């Protein structure tokens, strides 16, 4: 899994939005400690969390499973643009046959678990998909053979309020192990001066 932060809103934008309510722009220190304290006080401590929606983050997320992609779809206050299987399955079509011990080659396409039997069956599913593609069946129909472990990537945009919710829920020990790793990686890839807004939510 690889996370790249492509874009983030400067803290001063959120502070300015909050100061709009009281017309207290003259008290701003342009995203400095006073503005940071204001955002935390109003957005977190006073629970006026709608103000945090002015902070937006865009991540490029690579190497997650389609099982995890399904989990992401449950977080509706976010936008995602996903690598298309319709146009990209040709990369698998050109591969040599996969055998059960082809773990190194298979990891290019699959997210492995800590259960050997599950990984072995995923490789078999990968080979079955390759055979379907080689037979000339269109990607639109062949993709119905995709295993849940098949890797994908996406651009994901989310505001700070929704990201707090995501990190709080998905860093919990009851969450899918892969999405716990994602929650931790997202937190670690936030700008240093933004992480304080999420410290009370991260559980790993």
Task: Point out which residues pair with 150 in neighbouring strands.
Answer: 110
CA proximity to 55, closest of 4, 7, 2: 7
Q: Which of 89, 107, 98 is nearest to 144 (CA)?
A: 89
Per-residue pLDDT tens for 109-137? 999 999 999 999 999 999 999 999 999 99
Helix (H) or strand (E) holding 67, with range, is helix 66-72
The mean of the pLDDT values for the chain is 95
Axis-axis angle for helices 160-170, 177-189 (nearest 10) = 140
128 and 112 together in one domain: yes
CB-CB neighbours of 50 under 10 Å: 12
Q: What is the mean pLDDT of residues 76-94?
A: 91
Residue 202 has pLDDT above 70, yes or no: yes
In this structure, the answer to whether residues 137 and 71 fall within a common structural domain is no
User: Does 141 lie in the same domain as 59?
Assistant: no
pLDDT at 204: 67
pLDDT grade, residue 47 (50/70/90)? confident
Domains held by the chain: number: 2
**Is 204 inside a domain boundary?**
no
Rounded to whole angstroms, the Cα distance separating 185 from 190 reads 9
Answer whether residue 66 is part of any domain: yes
User: Domain of 180: which CATH number?
Assistant: 3.30.1360.170
* Same domain as 74, residue 164: yes
Q: Averaged over 154-164, what is the pLDDT?
A: 98
| Distance separating alpha carbons of residues 14 and 159, to the nearest angstrom | 11
Is the predicted pLDDT of residue 161 greater than 90, yes or no? yes
Give a yes or no: residue 134 inside a domain.
yes
Question: In the prediction, which pLDDT does 31 show?
Answer: 82
Over residues 152-174, the mean pLDDT reads: 97
**Residue 47 Rama label (left phi>0; alpha psi -120 to 50; beta):** left
Reply yes or no on whether the pLDDT at 61 is more than 70: yes
User: Residue 5 pLDDT > 80, yes or no?
Assistant: yes
Active-site residue set:
170
> Is 202 among the domain residues?
no
């Amino acid at each position: 899994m690889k996370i790249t932060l492509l874009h983030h809103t400067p803290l001063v934008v959120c502070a300015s939005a909050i100061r709009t309510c009281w017309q207290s722009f003259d008290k701003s220190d342009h995203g400095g400690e006073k503005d940071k304290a204001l955002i935390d006080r109003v957005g977190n401590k006073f629970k006026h969390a709608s103000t945090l929606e002015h902070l937006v983050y865009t991540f490029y997320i690579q190497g997650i499973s389609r099982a995890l992609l399904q989990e992401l779809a449950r977080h509706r206050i976010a936008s995602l643009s996903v690598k298309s299987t319709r146009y990209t399955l040709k990369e698998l079509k050109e591969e040599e046959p996969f055998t059960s011990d082809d773990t190194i080659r298979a990891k290019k396409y699959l997210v492995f678990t800590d259960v050997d039997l599950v990984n072995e069956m995923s490789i078999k599913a990968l080979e079955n998909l390759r055979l379907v593609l080689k037979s000339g069946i269109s990607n639109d129909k062949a993709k119905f053979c995709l295993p849940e472990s098949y890797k994908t990537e996406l651009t994901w945009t989310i505001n700070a309020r929704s990201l707090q919710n995501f990190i709080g829920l998905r860093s919990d020990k009851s969450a899918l192990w892969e999405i716990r790793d994602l929650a931790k990686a997202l937190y670690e890839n936030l700008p240093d001066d933004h992480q304080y807004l999420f410290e009370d939510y991260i559980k790993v």
